[in-house]
A = this chain, B = another copy of it.
Amino acid sequence: MQTVDTLLINGTVLTMNAAMEQYSDGAVAISGDSIVAVGSTAAIQAAYAAEDVVDCQGQIIMPGLVNTHTHMPMTLLRAMADDLRLDVWLMGYVMPVEREFVDPAFCRLGTQLSCAEMIRGGTTLFADMYYFEAEVAAATAEAGLRAVCGQTVMKYPAPDAASFEESLAYTRQFIEAWRDHPLIVPSVAPHAPYTCTDEILQACTELALEFDVLLQTHILETRQEADDSWTAFEKKVVDRLVGLGVFRAKTIAAHCVHVDSEEIRLLATHGVAVAHNPTSNLKLASGIAPIKGMLERGVRLSIGTDGAASNNDLDMFEELRLAALLVKGATYDPVVLPARDALLMATRWGAEALHLGHLTGSLEPGKRADLIVLDRDPLHNSPRFERDSNSVYSQVVYASQAADVMHTMVNGRWLMRDCALLTLDIATIRAQAVDYARRMETFLNAREGNVLNKLVAIGGLQQEESFEIQVKARVEDDTPVRQALEHPLVEVMRHNHYRQYDTYFLFEDADQGRVRYREDDFITRDGEVGSVRTRLTYTIPTKAAEFDEAVLLSHSRFIAPADRPLRFYREYFQARQECEVHKDRLRWHILYKGVLFYINLDEISEPDIADRYVEIKSRTWSQRDAHYKAALTTEIINDLMGLGREARVRMEYVDLCLAKP
């Protein structure tokens, strides 16, 4: 008779092991962090004794659920804004609130709240992607859950990093600090192909390979992403990732809603695991992922809730049920993904997708004791049939609820007993969460009457641009530009001629930013107006960084097609002041030393300042890149155009106009 720490007896044991063994009157013996034995109650009790013996009569003993894609801290944003178009939701609500509130304390608290919900609902392992991931890791370790924590890297400035280089450095530090932890597995999370440059994707891949950690990313959540990839790279998203060698790293990709059959084949070939997020994909109207095709191709499948901001909870029972149902209805195939396989996706296959199949995901001797005990006969699951060994999977998948979880254990430690959470101070966490919600609400309310808010309210915000390098100089005529264009290191890609009629709306509070309504008349070679486009641009007040005396690192902007007349916007925004700027613009796209720049030669006609200006602009993603491009810009203006510092102008046109008496 061997003494162990804990015995669970008299339950229906679902091992979820390779043979899918079940014990109708089963038991599990646990010592330290691990499972010692699984078998019939009689056999286990004959061989093992323990002080902590848990009678699981009328209950199911099974592996804890594995949530392979979530954003833990975003639980603090649950139901903050729902039933909105993706752009309005993301750029109008989630991103502004994240910019304002996401800091280490936010991430820690949000993780604690999410851990509490997960433990209550039977999740024992999750994969997270967010900012300040060390905080997520620390809070999770304290709560006692197992997690793969992925530090986000992307080309935009993030709450925890001003540039991707900073993120990468932070990620490296994070991996080094956490890689030997018994519960936490650090990882690198390049946010998505459309938010990462090739350089970022490759750097993340190298980091993942260097430390042999998982690479987490979002792939093809929306149809738009597929279209945009083709436009921007002339490549399908998965082809681009294969080409960049990203899949040399152990990879798990969330969503994969819009992968085509060829891309599915590539995911299978390269062993990329997929985190299926049915609720979020439906709620944000992204679509229905081709799970049947992935199953047929042998893609490694798993299930994730995504963040609570788009779910709106972290309930894996709901998620695995929806996964099992949705694929059937969407393909008219009632036998695809039977309950048994849906539950595998949420247990063993999930652990394997995270490359933790050797440690968890099934009840087997030697594996960590990550398990849950579930009420087998609640009202909503009565009566019960035992004729077919699949019936019990059907019970768990089609009718069990998070509230049916009685006990939760991770790494041999009880995190919940008899529905009572043991590792988290729920009252304090909830009080702090309520406090955060009130502060976020105050922030959002203060935004009422705010310009961006009003823009969001009318819908149609389209994109967020990134950093821009810009230099401007006053010129007498077009000589400096002609000179530059004829330089042997300059290649002219494209040339356009516009007349631009800008109306600026200026507000009392300068922090509100500015809205520009622009009519862009495209002028043909014959001097006719060829086509007219109207756009609304919102410029956020920005802390511009200067790299050189006259080179600005300007901040991002929101752009929307202006599908209503100028009168509408005038009445809608009720600006303190309006300012008109009309100009004739000659525009060139050039390559200088292989880098793309835009050169504008502008002649202002309204107000009557009768001046000519040249502008040199380039987009940039990282600090290093900005430095490099700033240097090139200086070369163009100094050396190619011969315009000295005295010619440079640091104001926007609208400010020049406003400065006029």
Residue positions of A touching B, CB distance < 8 A: 76, 78-86, 89, 113, 116-117, 120-121, 223, 279, 281-288, 308, 311-315, 318, 321-322, 325-326, 328-335, 338-339, 377, 379-388, 390-391, 394-395, 398-399, 401-403, 426, 430, 433-434, 436-437, 440-441, 444-445
State whether A116 touches B379 (Cβ < 8 A).
yes
Give chain B residues whose Cβ lies under 8 Å from the Cβ of A321.
318
Give chain B residues whose Cβ lies under 8 Å from the Cβ of A384.
79, 434, 437
- CB < 8 Å neighbour of A85 from B89, B326, B335, B382: B335
Tell me the bound Cα distance from A390 to B335 in angstroms: 38
Interface centre among A113, A325, A338, A377 (most CB of B within 10 A): A325
Interface centre among A78, A86, A314 (most CB of B within 10 A): A78
Tell me the bound Cα distance from A85 to B113 in angstroms: 42
Tell me the bound Cα distance from A84 to B394 in angstroms: 12
State whether A385 touches B117 (Cβ < 8 A).
no
State whether A281 touches B380 (Cβ < 8 A).
no
State whether B387 touches A441 (Cβ < 8 A).
yes
Give chain B residues whose Cβ lies under 8 Å from the Cβ of A84.
334-335
State whether A332 touches B287 (Cβ < 8 A).
yes
Give chain B residues whose Cβ lies under 8 Å from the Cβ of A338.
82-83
Closest 4 CB pairs of A and B: A282-B329, A403-B403, A383-B437, A83-B338
Report the nearest B residue to A222, measured CB to CB.
B332
Tell me the bound Cα distance from A83 to B197 in angstroms: 44
26 A/B residue pairs, CB under 8 Å, sorted by A: A78-B381, A78-B383, A79-B384, A79-B391, A79-B395, A79-B398, A82-B391, A82-B398, A83-B338, A83-B339, A279-B325, A282-B328, A284-B328, A285-B329, A286-B332, A288-B330, A311-B398, A313-B381, A322-B325, A326-B326, A379-B426, A380-B402, A382-B430, A384-B434, A387-B445, A401-B401
Number of identical monomers bound together in the oligomeric complex:
2
State whether A379 touches B441 (Cβ < 8 A).
no
- CB < 8 Å neighbour of A380 from B315, B329, B388: B315
Give chain B residues whose Cβ lies under 8 Å from the Cβ of A440.
385
Known: A285-B331, A379-B426. A79 touches B322 (CB 8 A): no
State whether B403 touches A401 (Cβ < 8 A).
yes
| Least Cβ–Cβ distance between A593 and chain B, in angstroms | 43
Report the nearest B residue to A286, measured CB to CB.
B329
Tell me the bound Cα distance from A113 to B382 in angstroms: 8
Give chain B residues whose Cβ lies under 8 Å from the Cβ of A113.
379, 382-383
State whether B329 touches A79 (Cβ < 8 A).
no
| Least Cβ–Cβ distance between A273 and chain B, in angstroms | 22
Tell me the bound Cα distance from A571 to B413 in angstroms: 55
State whether A379 touches B325 (Cβ < 8 A).
no
Known: A285-B333, A387-B441, A441-B385. A339 touches B82 (CB 8 A): yes
Give chain B residues whose Cβ lies under 8 Å from the Cβ of A287.
329, 332
Tell me the bound Cα distance from A24 to B308 in angstroms: 24
State whether B79 touches A399 (Cβ < 8 A).
yes
Tell me the bound Cα distance from A80 to B384 in angstroms: 8
| Least Cβ–Cβ distance between A89 and chain B, in angstroms | 8
Tell me the bound Cα distance from A83 to B76 in angstroms: 37
Tell me the bound Cα distance from A441 to B82 in angstroms: 46
Give chain B residues whose Cβ lies under 8 Å from the Cβ of A315.
380, 399, 401
Tell me the bound Cα distance from A394 to B83 in angstroms: 8
State whether B332 touches A223 (Cβ < 8 A).
yes
| Least Cβ–Cβ distance between A622 and chain B, in angstroms | 32
State whether B385 touches A312 (Cβ < 8 A).
no
Give chain B residues whose Cβ lies under 8 Å from the Cβ of A121.
380
| Least Cβ–Cβ distance between A14 and chain B, in angstroms | 15
Give chain B residues whose Cβ lies under 8 Å from the Cβ of A318.
318, 321
Report the nearest B residue to A289, measured CB to CB.
B329
State whether B441 touches A399 (Cβ < 8 A).
no
Report the nearest B residue to A85, measured CB to CB.
B334
| Least Cβ–Cβ distance between A315 and chain B, in angstroms | 6
Tell me the bound Cα distance from A388 to B312 in angstroms: 16
Tell me the bound Cα distance from A394 to B79 in angstroms: 6
| Least Cβ–Cβ distance between A305 and chain B, in angstroms | 11
Tell me the bound Cα distance from A629 to B109 in angstroms: 78
Known: A78-B382, A379-B426, A399-B79. A334 touches B285 (CB 8 A): yes
Report the nearest B residue to A426, measured CB to CB.
B379
Report the nearest B residue to A332, measured CB to CB.
B285
State whether A334 touches B386 (Cβ < 8 A).
no
